[in-house]
């Protein structure tokens, strides 16, 4: 997948594509419909398949003091897009200057001119340009003038609710992982490098890999059954695990830390990049009166996670195709 940052002087390989356009935070099942339509259009036109997205998320620019809210930071989103078979990912820097771009300039000069797109696929609520003045109708008008087509995808849902990143965020914060998984079409993941902690887990028999979640929304604090992906020369190897996300009140902690204990792994993980897929929320974070009580509870959490993951492993398609969404599995 070709990665293009910005819109000035794009390479020839980034021009003439059928593109899906949006923030795509979460790359959930509603977004899948947009990407799937762009894929079908690219096939019809014999054109490259592209995605245009924005970084940072516009919400971060205008609400700088807000707590982390991203479901899929850029690195994760690009990994998923690459697995989708996207030919070119175009990332526009969403800064003050870009936010001031007129909608006509974006639809006409950038999409129709600099990138000479063949077709644009957007969601029904897509807004663009200064103060969100642009909408799919304006995009269609510029498409007629510039020679590109536009498809607007209707709301997608499960028959009861529309798939939306805001709903997925709410589900995660409430610890409703099954609901979040259902709307994402895959297990929710975080990824990052293993950092050195205070090694308390190792001293009580449960060594953990500590991962910084600075960019990502915090789900409900507590203990989760997880799968941990470790990249090697063969791809990603997945291990069952149990993870605690919290402030470690037993030790008087304050910062939120993700600590993952791998059930079937021995070795040094410091500095390695891991993927942690959240499978089931086991219990809320708790404060214990002493190390003995804490150790007993961690052992119980480990046993519960191991039994649950062993049971889930019997399900058809368990972690099929590397925990990728259905649109990828169906390609």
Segment 210-249, tens digit of pLDDT: 998 888 999 999 999 999 998 877 778 899 999 999 887 5
CA distance 49 to 87: 5
End-to-end CA gap in the chain: 16
Q: What is the pLDDT of residue 326?
A: 47
Segment 265-286, tens digit of pLDDT: 888 888 899 999 999 999 999 8
Strands 49-55 vs 18-21: parallel, antiparallel or unpaired: parallel
Give residue limits of the domains in the chain: 2-153, 165-329
Topology (CATH level 3) of domain 165-329: Elongation Factor Tu (Ef-tu); domain 3 (2.40.30)
- Per-residue confidence at 260, pLDDT binned at 50, 70, 90? very high
Q: What is the pLDDT of residue 201?
A: 61
Q: Measuring CA to CA, how many Å separate 183 from each of 78, 214, 273, 328? A: 19, 24, 26, 15
pTM: 0.90
pLDDT higher than 70, residue 324: no
CA distance 102 to 131: 9
CATH architecture of 2-153: 3-Layer(aba) Sandwich (3.40)
DSSP codes, 266-302: -S--TT-EEEEEEEEEEEE----SSHHHHHHHHHHHH
Coil, strand or helix at 151: strand
Residues 210/255, Cβ–Cβ less than 8 Å:
no
Segment 16-32, tens digit of pLDDT: 999 999 999 999 999 99
Q: Is the peptide bond before 56 cis (omega within 30 degrees of 0)?
A: yes
Instruction: Write out the two tokens for 93.
Output: 């820097």
Residues 41/8, Cβ–Cβ less than 8 Å:
no
pLDDT higher than 90, residue 132: yes
CA distance 147 to 104: 15
Strands 149-153 vs 119-123: parallel, antiparallel or unpaired: parallel
* Residue from 185, 225, 255 nearest 26 by CA: 185
Strands 88-93 vs 49-55: parallel, antiparallel or unpaired: parallel
The phi-psi region of residue 32 (left if phi > 0; otherwise alpha if psi is between -120 and 50; otherwise beta) is: alpha
């Amino acid at each position: 997948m070709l990665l293009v940052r910005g819109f000035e002087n794009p390479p020839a390989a980034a021009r003439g594509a059928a593109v899906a356009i949006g923030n795509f935070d979460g790359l959930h099942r509603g977004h899948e419909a947009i990407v799937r339509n762009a894929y079908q259009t690219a096939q019809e036109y014999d054109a490259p398949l592209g995605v245009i997205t924005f970084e940072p998320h516009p919400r971060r620019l205008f609400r700088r003091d807000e707590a982390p809210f991203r479901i899929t930071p850029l690195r994760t989103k690009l990994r998923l897009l690459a697995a989708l078979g996207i030919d070119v990912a175009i990332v526009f820097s969403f800064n003050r200057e870009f936010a001031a771009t007129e909608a006509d300039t974006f639809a006409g000069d950038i999409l129709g001119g600099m990138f000479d797109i063949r077709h644009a696929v957007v969601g029904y609520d897509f807004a663009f340009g200064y103060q969100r003045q642009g909408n799919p109708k304006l995009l269609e008008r510029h498409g007629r003038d510039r020679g590109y087509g536009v498809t607007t995808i209707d709301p997608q849902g499960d028959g009861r609710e529309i798939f939306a990143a805001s709903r997925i965020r709410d589900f995660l914060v409430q610890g409703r992982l099954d609901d979040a998984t259902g709307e994402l079409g895959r297990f929710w993941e975080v990824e990052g490098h293993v950092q050195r902690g205070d090694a308390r887990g190792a001293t009580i028999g449960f060594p953990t890999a500590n991962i910084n979640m600075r960019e990502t929304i915090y789900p409900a604090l507590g203990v989760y059954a997880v799968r941990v992906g470790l990249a090697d020369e063969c791809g990603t190897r997945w291990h069952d695990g149990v993870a605690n996300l919290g402030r470690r009140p037993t030790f008087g902690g304050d910062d939120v830390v993700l600590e993952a204990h791998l059930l079937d792994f021995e070795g040094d993980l410091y500095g390695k990049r891991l993927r942690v897929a959240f499978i089931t929320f086991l219990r809320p974070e708790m404060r214990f009166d002493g190390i003995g009580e804490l150790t007993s509870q961690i052992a119980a959490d480990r046993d519960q996670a191991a039994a649950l993951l062993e049971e889930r492993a019997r399900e058809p398609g368990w972690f099929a195709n590397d925990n990728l969404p259905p649109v990828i599995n169906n390609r």
